[in-house]
C-alpha cells in the first residue's frame, strides 16, 4: 500500500465521518422532539383525567361515562409516558421512517405522473412535431427520387435502341447471325 492510497482512505473516512455526525445529530434532534411530544401527550392525558374527575363531581358525567373517559385519558397518559422511554423513541422512529417511506413513494408517483404530463403536453408535442418534420423531409426526398427515375426512364425511352447500350465491335454481326 502506498502513501497516496493511505491519504485517499483518510480523506474518504473524514468525509464519511461528517455525514455520520450529521445523521447522529438529526437522530438526536428527532429523539428530543419525540420525548417532548411524549411529555405533551402524557400531560394532555393527565389533564383529561382531571377534567373527567371534575366533570363527574359536578354531575356532567355519570359513573359509567366518567369511567370510560378516565380510562381513555389514562391510556393517552401511558402512551405519552411510553414515548419518553428509549423503547418508545425507537418505536416512534420506526413509525416515522415508515411514514417517510410512504410519503416518498407517494411523491415519486406524483413525480412520475408529472413527468408523464410534461412528456405528453410539452416535450411530447415537440417530439411529435419533430417526427412529422422528419417524415415530411423523407417523403419529399422520396418524391424527388421518384421524379428523377421517371425522367431518366422517359429520356431512355426516347433514345434509339443502339444508343442505350455500349456495344463492342463486331457484336452487331453476332446478333444478326442469331436472328438469321
Q: Determine which helix (DSSP H) or strand (DSSP E) holds 174, and give its type and residue range.
A: helix 171-179
Residue 134: predicted pLDDT: 92
Count the Cβ atoms, other than its own, within 10 Å of residue 79.
15
Residue 169: predicted pLDDT: 64
Residue 29: predicted pLDDT: 85
Residue 37: predicted pLDDT: 87
Please tell me the distance from the alpha carbon of residue 15 to that of residue 19, in angstroms, as a whole number. Answer: 7
Residue 25: predicted pLDDT: 84
Residue 30: predicted pLDDT: 82
Residue 16: predicted pLDDT: 64
Residue 4: predicted pLDDT: 55
Residue 50: predicted pLDDT: 92
Residue 170: predicted pLDDT: 65
31 contacts: CB under 8 Å, gap ≥ 6:
89, 93
Query: Which residue, among 45, 50, 43, 38, has the nearest Cα to 80 in the 3D structure?
Result: 38
From first to last of its 180 residues, the chain has per-residue pLDDT tens of: 555 555 555 555 566 677 777 877 887 888 888 888 889 989 999 999 999 999 999 989 899 999 999 999 999 999 888 888 888 888 888 888 888 888 888 888 877 777 677 666 776 777 788 889 999 999 999 999 998 888 887 877 776 665 556 666 666 666 655 554
Please tell me the distance from the alpha carbon of residue 39 to that of residue 34, in angstroms, as a whole number. Answer: 9
Residue 30 buriedness (CB in 10 A; 0-12 / 13-18 / 19+): middle
Q: DSSP string covering 60-128, please?
A: SS-HHHHHHHHHHHHHHHHHHHHHTSHHHHHHHHHHHHHHHHHHHHHHHHHHHHHHHHHIIIIIHHHHH
**Cell numbers 406524483: residue:** 110
Residue 172: predicted pLDDT: 66
CA 29 vs CA 16, 33, 90, 91: distances in Å: 20, 6, 13, 16
Amino acid at each position: 500500500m502506498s502513501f497516496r492510497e493511505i491519504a485517499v482512505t483518510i480523506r474518504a473516512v473524514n468525509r464519511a465521518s461528517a455525514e455520520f455526525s450529521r445523521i447522529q445529530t438529526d437522530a438526536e434532534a428527532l429523539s428530543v422532539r419525540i420525548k417532548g411530544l411524549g411529555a405533551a401527550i402524557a400531560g394532555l392525558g393527565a389533564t383529561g383525567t382531571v377534567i373527567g374527575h371534575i366533570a363527574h363531581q359536578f354531575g356532567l358525567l355519570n359513573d359509567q361515562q366518567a369511567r370510560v373517559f378516565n380510562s381513555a385519558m389514562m391510556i393517552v397518559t401511558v402512551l405519552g409516558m411510553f414515548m419518553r422511554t428509549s423503547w418508545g423513541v425507537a418505536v416512534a422512529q420506526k413509525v416515522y421512517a415508515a411514514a417517510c417511506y410512504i410519503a416518498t413513494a407517494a411523491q415519486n408517483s406524483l413525480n412520475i405522473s408529472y413527468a408523464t404530463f410534461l412528456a405528453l403536453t410539452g416535450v411530447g408535442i415537440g417530439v411529435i412535431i419533430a417526427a412529422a418534420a422528419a417524415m415530411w423531409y423523407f417523403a419529399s426526398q422520396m418524391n424527388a427520387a421518384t421524379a428523377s427515375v421517371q425522367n431518366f426512364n422517359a429520356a431512355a425511352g426516347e433514345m434509339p435502341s443502339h444508343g442505350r447500350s455500349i456495344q463492342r465491335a463486331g457484336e452487331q454481326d453476332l446478333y444478326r447471325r442469331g436472328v438469321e
